[in-house]
């Protein structure tokens, strides 16, 4: 008798999500986290939240949603929170795609995108990055088909750090048919300094088909608690709310996020440290290795191609963990000044001039 596999057979060919590695005693520059401890008030808020964890969290996430909406200057019914912005991207795929529809994005980009597409039974349409490692928006607009339901624009792009500027994004959005959702994934928005890389919500938030994704995992330092959110038009947000896993923004995450948002001045001060370190690290690396794309995020990309894995291994012998993408490049998260010095010393021994 013909038997069916217990699980979907197409999943066997799907790569697993590979997290940045943590090695005890080593400096981790592999997951685009910030190197600082919790923002002021966060630990106290967590302790307070812990006293009520026998109860389910507020499923509507009302207080946090209202606070985010107020900060962003949008109506609360436009905000949906969830278990990290990666979950929000997945929810959007489930909200927009039926089997056989497609999700279009630049590649290489955030490695969760192909997984999200495949697990929602959508096809991935991957448009190769430009030779400068950024989005090729002209090619992306040509790749749209009548099965395209969602387009992901990762800005700045993980892992290459590149960003799309306002003029090209304006033109692209004008070309996208209005019945396709365009997701502006702005996980690294707080690290952007180029004035031409505009805030997607402020600039495009009124467009009916634009959805902006943000996270508290990066600049706000809450990666371990998993809080992300999207801002969409109310009808889109209402549809997403139907697919969100119930209670997925847990009570500790809600409390910590509220406290973190109250510490915005300190968050900005910390981001400024990361930004100035990013510029320093890029400038030093550029002396030894040309072709590093200018980063607007809290990491830099070294397009080392077939030397990527070897470089990461060389860093590891110096107790520095970076993130290789075999055959393509290495992504290095910006850490504290001391951590960056340690990384640069390791990088110099591999990339620098012969002694
Ligand atoms: N988008 C991008 C571009 C990312 O790099 C990441 C994290 N690596 C995420 C979304 C997801 O972040 P989180 O789920 O922690 O909010």
- Residue 302 falls inside a structural domain: yes
pLDDT per position as a tens digit, 21-65: 899 999 999 999 999 999 999 999 999 999 999 999 999 999 999
CA of 181 to the centre of ligand 1 (A): 19
Q: Single out the residue of 240, 247, 199 nearest to residue 92, CA to CA.
A: 240
- Residue 2 falls inside a structural domain: no
Total domains in the fold of the chain: 2
pLDDT at 274 over 90: yes
Residues 284 and 345 in one domain: yes
Pocket of ligand 1 (CB under 6 A): 32, 84-86, 110, 154, 158, 185, 187, 215, 217, 223, 228
Residues 194 and 232 in one domain: yes
Could you tell me the two tokens for 314? Answer: 């060389």
Helix axes 337-351, 264-288, angle to 10 degrees: 20
ipTM of this complex:
0.99
Q: Which atom of ligand 1 is nearest to the CA of 217?
A: 15
Tell me, what CATH number does 225's domain have? 3.40.640.10
CA of 186 to the centre of ligand 1 (A): 9
Per-residue confidence band for 347, with pLDDT thresholds at 50, 70 and 90: very high
Q: Which atom of ligand 1 is nearest to the CA of 109?
A: 3
Residues 179 and 224 in one domain: yes
CA of 86 to the centre of ligand 1 (A): 5
Strands 299-302 and 102-107: unpaired
CA of 5 to the centre of ligand 1 (A): 32
pLDDT at 135 over 90: yes
- Residue 347 falls inside a structural domain: yes
Strands 123-128 and 148-154: unpaired
Residues 184 and 322 in one domain: no
- Residue 35 falls inside a structural domain: no
Mean pLDDT computed over every residue of the chain: 97
Domain end residue (candidates: 241, 261, 281): 261
Residues 182 and 206 in one domain: yes
Mutate to test the pocket of ligand 1, among 17, 19, 68, 86 (most ligand atoms within 8 A of CB): 86
Domain end residue (candidates: 243, 261, 279): 261
- Residue 4 falls inside a structural domain: no
Strands, E, within the chain: which ranges? 27-28, 79-82, 102-107, 123-128, 148-154, 181-185, 210-215, 228-231, 299-302, 320-321, 323-325, 329-333
The rounded distance, in Å, linking the Cα atoms of 315 and 21 is 13
pLDDT at 220 over 90: yes
Q: What pLDDT score was predicted for residue 300? A: 98
Per-residue confidence band for 212, with pLDDT thresholds at 50, 70 and 90: very high
- State pTM to two decimals: 0.97
The rounded distance, in Å, linking the Cα atoms of 235 and 95 is 11
**Quick check: bond before 332 cis, omega within 30?**
no
Residues 256 and 270 in one domain: no
Higher pLDDT, 13 or 138: 138
Residues 89 and 222 in one domain: yes
Q: What pLDDT score was predicted for residue 355? A: 67
Residues 20 and 63 in one domain: no
Q: Single out the residue of 99, 293, 292, 110 nearest to residue 186, CA to CA.
A: 110
Residues 83 and 100 in one domain: yes
Per-residue confidence band for 111, with pLDDT thresholds at 50, 70 and 90: very high
H-type helices in 51-128, by residue range?
Answer: 62-72, 85-96, 112-119
- Residue 188 falls inside a structural domain: yes
CA of 314 to the centre of ligand 1 (A): 27
Mutate to test the pocket of ligand 1, among 116, 154, 158 (most ligand atoms within 8 A of CB): 158
- Residue 56 falls inside a structural domain: yes
Residues 281 and 251 in one domain: no
Q: Which atom of ligand 1 is nearest to the CA of 87?
A: 14
Percent of the chain with pLDDT over 70: 99
Domain end residue (candidates: 227, 261, 295): 261
Q: What pLDDT score was predicted for residue 170? A: 98
Residue 169's Cβ-count burial label (10 Å; 0-12, 13-18, 19+) is: buried
Residues 300 and 153 in one domain: no
Residues 202 and 307 in one domain: no
Residue 67, Cβ neighbours under 10 Å: how many? Answer: 18
- Residue 1 falls inside a structural domain: no
Residue 261, Cβ neighbours under 10 Å: how many? Answer: 18
Domain of residue 309, residue span: 9-30+265-351
Tell me, what CATH number does 314's domain have? 3.90.1150.10
pLDDT at 117 over 90: yes
pLDDT per position as a tens digit, 299-339: 999 999 999 999 999 999 999 999 999 999 999 999 999 99
pLDDT per position as a tens digit, 157-208: 999 999 999 999 999 999 999 999 999 999 999 999 999 999 999 999 999 9
Q: Are 216 and 64 in contact (CB under 8 A)?
A: no
Residue 179's Cβ-count burial label (10 Å; 0-12, 13-18, 19+) is: exposed
Q: What pLDDT score was predicted for residue 352? A: 84
Mutate to test the pocket of ligand 1, among 218, 220, 298 (most ligand atoms within 8 A of CB): 218
Q: What pLDDT score was predicted for residue 308? A: 98
């Amino acid at each position: 008798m013909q038997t069916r596999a217990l699980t979907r057979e197409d999943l066997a060919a799907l790569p697993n999500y590979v997290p940045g590695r943590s090695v005890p005693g080593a400096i981790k520059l592999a997951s685009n986290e910030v190197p600082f401890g919790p923002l002021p008030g966060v630990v106290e808020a967590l302790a307070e939240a812990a006293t009520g964890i026998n109860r389910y969290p507020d499923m509507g996430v009302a207080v946090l949603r209202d606070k985010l909406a107020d900060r962003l200057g949008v109506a609360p019914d436009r905000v949906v929170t969830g278990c990290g912005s990666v979950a929000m991207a997945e929810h959007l795929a489930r909200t927009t795609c039926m089997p056989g529809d497609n999700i279009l994005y630049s590649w290489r980009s955030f490695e969760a995108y192909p997984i999200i597409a495949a697990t929602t039974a959508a096809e991935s349409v991957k448009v190769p990055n430009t030779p400068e490692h950024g989005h090729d928006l002209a090619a992306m607009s040509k790749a749209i088909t009548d099965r395209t339901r969602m387009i992901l624009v990762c800005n700045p792009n993980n892992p290459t750090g590149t960003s799309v500027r306002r003029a090209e994004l304006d033109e692209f959005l004008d070309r996208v048919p209005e019945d396709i959702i365009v997701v502006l994934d702005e996980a690294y928005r707080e690290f952007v300094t180029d004035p031409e890389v505009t805030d997607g919500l402020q600039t495009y938030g009124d467009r009916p088909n634009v959805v902006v994704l943000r996270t508290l995992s990066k600049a706000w330092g809450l990666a371990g608690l998993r809080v992300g959110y999207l801002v969409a038009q109310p009808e889109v947000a209402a549809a997403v709310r139907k697919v969100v896993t119930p209670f997925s923004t847990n009570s500790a995450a809600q409390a910590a996020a509220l406290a973190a948002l109250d510490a915005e001045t300190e968050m900005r001060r910390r981001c400024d440290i990361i930004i100035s370190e990013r510029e320093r690290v890029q400038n030093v690396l550029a002396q030894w290795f040309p072709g590093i794309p200018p980063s607007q995020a809290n990491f830099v990309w070294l397009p080392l191609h077939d030397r990527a894995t070897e470089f990461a291994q060389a860093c590891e012998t110096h107790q520095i963990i970076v993130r290789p993408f075999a055959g393509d490049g290495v992504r290095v998260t910006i850490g504290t000044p001391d951590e960056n010095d340690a990384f640069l010393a390791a990088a110099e021994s591999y990339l620098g001039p012969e002694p």
